[in-house]
Chains A and B, each alone.
Chain A
Amino acid sequence: MFDVSKENEGTHVRIILQGDLTSATAPQLESALAGYLAGGGPPDWLLDLGQLGFSSSAGLRVFLAYAKKIKNAKGRLVLCNLQPNVREVFDVSGFTQIFTIESGADEARRHFAA
């Protein structure tokens, strides 16, 4: 079970991920993100992973690809609310070095206010 939803918060888009990101559900995330990117709107993205229980390498690959796409579109990407096991795969894959990660949504929003 996996779901992606989007909220426009004015200066940025907040994208909420729920469920598990596996090789079966990663294409769903990719397709949703492609739709948001093509649909215009604010260039800055806040990815809220508070309800994401697990991410396989297939999910991580989508994050990596979209980190590049958002950067190329002159936007900023901030991740927040990572659960411990999601945080662990981010650590193992070296993603904590390349992503801006905040503990909560409020802390993440400050990046866009600045």
Chain B
Amino acid sequence: MSHSHTASQGGDKEAATRSAAIAAGLDLLFSLAALVAASSSVILADFLKTLLEFIAVLIAWLALRRIQHGANHEFDYGVGKLENLSSLVVGVLMVGCLLLIVVNAVRNLLHPGEISGIGVWISLANQVIYVFVNSWLSLRSRRLAREQNSPLMASQAGLFFTKALANGFILLSLGLSLWLIRFSWSHYIDPVASLIIAGSILFAALGIFKSSTFDLLDRTLEENSQLAILRALARHFDSYEELHEVRSRRAGSHVFVEIILGFPPEQTTAVTAAVAKRLKAELEREIPGSRVTIGIA
């Protein structure tokens, strides 16, 4: 992969994360306005959640800016790990957010009350807008994650999908609370809806933790990629004399494969180099994000 191509991919990711940070900032302002002018546990939970999400998106953007500025220099081999670290920070923040929402919801279940204030209407309008904004941001991040094999973009896609879901739930919760306000049991809709949102955040946070901690550790390749290596070695079975070693590891979104082969001593260097080149090209095409080294023993 050329440096200019890598830089262009980094630029796409930075642009996507920047627009996400701007959208999250505006969401935060609307949520704050709704919180100040309303009495609702869901709106309070929404503000706290939005605040933490804004911080998470901001961290991702700052991390990508740093990566982008050093893309061709000191981060050549560290981008994958930095991305995974950002994903892990997003996960930690989501757990913090989850705890705040649960504590607030439990308090309001013990002391239920009806929702009121102009802030409820501000929040309703905000939810309608952000269901669409967050869905669009999630789809965009998902596309970039798939195209560029980026864990950070994958975590961003998960985050915005969760946010869009939360917007939908808050909209439904506020709408039902207003519509059924004459029934005393409707006072429980608000805190119960908060707990449902907390559940969706927990689900997303667990996913981020799982993939980021797994990728942060250098580890061997999954079985599918191992079989791809063996398939390539089987295809070229008659082109080498001995299979000495196959070493592989994954670091962040990068995969490193080292194959040590023995060749007949009478074979010319040009023929040996051509075999090694073909094998390397085939494997790098088959295993996304891989760098393959063919060692000659």
A and B part of one assembly: yes
Residues of A at the B interface (CB closer than 8 Å) are 23, 56-58, 60-61, 64-65, 67-69, 72, 89, 92-95, 97-98
Q: Interface residues of B, CB < 8 Å — how many?
A: 17
Contacting residue for A94 out of B223, B235, B243, B244, CB 8 A: B235
Q: Nearest-CB distance from B252 to chain A (Å)?
A: 22
Residues in B neighbouring A89, C-beta threshold 8 A: 227
Inter-chain contact total with CB atoms closer than 8 Å: 46
**B contact patch SS:** helix
Within 214-233 of B, Cβ neighbours of A (below 8 Å) are at: 220, 223, 226-227, 229-231, 233
Residues in B neighbouring A94, C-beta threshold 8 A: 230-231, 234-235
Residues in B neighbouring A92, C-beta threshold 8 A: 227, 231
**A contact patch SS:** helix
Residues of B at the A interface (CB closer than 8 Å) are 220, 223, 226-227, 229-231, 233-235, 237, 240-244, 246
Residues in A neighbouring B240, C-beta threshold 8 A: 68
Given contacts A94-B231, A95-B230, contact A68 B246 (CB under 8 A): no
| B223 and A69 form a contact (CB under 8 A) | no
Given contacts A60-B230, A61-B230, A95-B234, contact A68 B243 (CB under 8 A): yes
Q: Nearest-CB distance from B231 to chain A (Å)?
A: 5
How far is B234's CA from A14's CA once the two chains are assembled, in angstroms? 24
Instruction: Give the residue name and chain of the A residue nearest to B262 (CB).
Output: A68
